[in-house]
Amino acid sequence: MHVLITGGAGFIGSHLVERMLAEGNTVHVVDDLSTGKATNLAPFLEHPRFRFCEADIVTWDGISAAAQWSDRIYHLAAVVGVRRVLEDPIQVLATNIAGTERLLRAVVTGGWRPRIIIASSSEAYGFAQDEAFNEQNDLVFRAGGQTRWAYAVTKLVDEHLAHAFFKKRELPVTTVRLFNTVGPRQLGRYGMVLPNFVKQAVRGVPITVFGDGLQTRSFCDVRDTVCMLDELGRSEAAVGEIVNVGDDKEISIKDLAALVRERAGSQSPIKLVSYVEAYGESFEDVTHRRPDLTKLRSLITYSPKRSLAETIDDLIRIERTGLGQSASK
Ligand SMILES: NC(=O)c1ccc[n+]([C@@H]2O[C@H](COP(=O)([O-])OP(=O)(O)OC[C@H]3O[C@@H](n4cnc5c(N)ncnc54)[C@H](O)[C@@H]3O)[C@@H](O)[C@H]2O)c1
């Protein structure tokens, strides 16, 4: 099978590349390396069934040929991370909406019908307060357009684009609302919580928890996420659907900090930092975010295998190896 992965040099994308190649597929990645890293693709560059184009999805002149070549497309390329959203909401809105529209249009124009998986986000639920987020629930956004929601709005538009191309152009599209995904290769610098906690615990500096730390999240290991994305790509029943993807165990951010500290055997204090201090502006956070996985479980058989503690142990090992290497240079 021919698999096109946009954003394949990124965190989730590079794990997907690994899985798709291991299954015997031919994989084509397009990525502008804005947050993705060439080193994430280094292990595959010599692979006979792998190809990489460094390009912006919004202007890439190879998009039509790649779309026609593909049997399956994973569209992950997007501007992500709270920090980038707050710093450059215009870029977020432009890339995330135009990139998806351009890709879907390129597929339609070619007249081919690859299976398409579009990455949306749990952010699309906005301020919903339901105990567990179900795909049928109403989505809740504040009036007044806070910058913080720019990313969520782009993902919502992407969902509508996917639905419109499914309904009106019969494209076999599935939209996945990814909940917090964690694991090796995730970067902390754009505001992702776990890589920052691990780095702080390993270095013995304060672990900085934003807000009161009572907000809860559900974390899924990326190596489990890509197995679920693979199975969804094979599911006919998932065509035309929006599906939550993640793990439904919940932990508060304060408890996450304590767990990281414990697994690392670290003495780091846990320090609460206000959102104003953290982001330079007032920031409304969501108190909890847990997926209802009923629909996902009706579509696929795979369920997450790695516990959060195992993921954290892996990240601590990787962080220590990195520290050791930079110390010996
Ligand atoms: N990681 C999570 O917890 C999470 C949660 C919800 C949704 N998502 C979605 O999953 C997808 C992958 O996220 P990730 O966590 O791997 O982030 P990431 O930043 O590692 O991956 C995004 C990739 O897209 C690339 N990219 C950005 N703009 C591009 C452009 N214009 N042209 C080509 N490539 C471009 C980046 O260089 C990067 O490699 C994104 O669509 C994101 O919105 C992720």
3 state SS for the chain: CEEEEECCCCHHHHHHHHHHHHCCCEEEEEECCCCCCHHHHHHHCCCCCEEEEECCCCCCCCHHHHHHHCCEEEECCCCCCHHHHHHCHHHHHHHHHHHHHHHHHHHHHHCCCCEEEEEEEHHHHECCCCCCECCCCCCECCCCCCHHHHHHHHHHHHHHHHHHHHHHHCCCEEEEEECCEECCCCCCCCCCHHHHHHHHHHHCCCEEEECCCCCEECCEEHHHHHHHHHHHHHCCCCCCCEEEECCCCCEEHHHHHHHHHHHHCCCCCEEEECHHHHHCCCCCCCCCCCECCHHHHHHCCCCCCCCHHHHHHHHHHHHHHHHHHHHHC
- Is residue 67 in a domain? yes
How many domains are there within the chain? 1
CA of 176 to the centre of ligand 1 (A): 13
**pLDDT at position 276, please?**
85
Residue for token pair 């040099």: 9
CA of 79 to the centre of ligand 1 (A): 6
Residue nearest atom 19 of ligand 1, based on CA coordinates: 35
Substitution site in 11, 157, 182, 245 for ligand 1 pocket (most atoms within 8 Å of beta carbon) = 11
Q: State residue 230 phi and psi, 5-degree precision.
A: -65, -50
- Is residue 313 in a domain? no
Q: Calculate the dihedral angle through the C-alpha atoms of 236, 242, 245, 250, rounding to the nearest 10 degrees.
A: -140
**pLDDT at position 86, please?**
85
Substitution site in 5, 12, 40 for ligand 1 pocket (most atoms within 8 Å of beta carbon) = 12
d(C-alpha 140, C-alpha 122), whole Å: 12
**pLDDT at position 326, please?**
57
- Is residue 257 in a domain? no
**pLDDT at position 188, please?**
82
CA of 74 to the centre of ligand 1 (A): 11
- Is residue 277 in a domain? no
Residue for token pair 């989505």: 139
Measured from the Cα of 60, ligand 1's closest atom is: 32
Return the half-sphere exposure (C-beta side, CA atoms, 13 A cut-off) of residue 108: 17
**pLDDT at position 325, please?**
62
Candidate list 74, 125, 151, 279, residue with the active-site label: 151
**pLDDT at position 328, please?**
47
CA of 166 to the centre of ligand 1 (A): 23
- Is residue 264 in a domain? no
- Is residue 96 in a domain? yes
* Residue 151 annotated to the active site: yes
CA of 127 to the centre of ligand 1 (A): 22
Domain that holds residue 145: 2-182+220-246+290-304
- For CA atoms 287, 289, 292, 295, give the dihedral sign: positive
Substitution site in 17, 35, 74, 82 for ligand 1 pocket (most atoms within 8 Å of beta carbon) = 35
Pocket of ligand 1 (CB under 6 A): 7, 9-13, 30-36, 56-58, 76-80, 95, 99, 119, 121, 178, 180-181
**pLDDT at position 322, please?**
82
Q: From the first residue on, what is the mean pLDDT of each consecutive set of 10 residues in the chain (329 residues)?
A: 98 98 98 96 97 98 96 97 86 95 95 94 91 94 81 96 97 98 90 93 96 95 98 98 97 98 97 86 81 98 96 97 63
Query: Which residues make beta-bridge pairs with 27?
Result: 3, 50
**pLDDT at position 189, please?**
80
**pLDDT at position 85, please?**
85
Instruction: Work out the number of other CB atoms within 10 angstroms of the CB of residue 282.
Output: 10
CATH (domain of 46): 3.40.50.720
The closest of 76, 57, 241 to 159, measured between CA atoms, is 241
- Is residue 295 in a domain? yes
Measured from the Cα of 186, ligand 1's closest atom is: 20
- Is residue 212 in a domain? no
Residues 293 and 301: beta-carbon distance below 8 Å: no
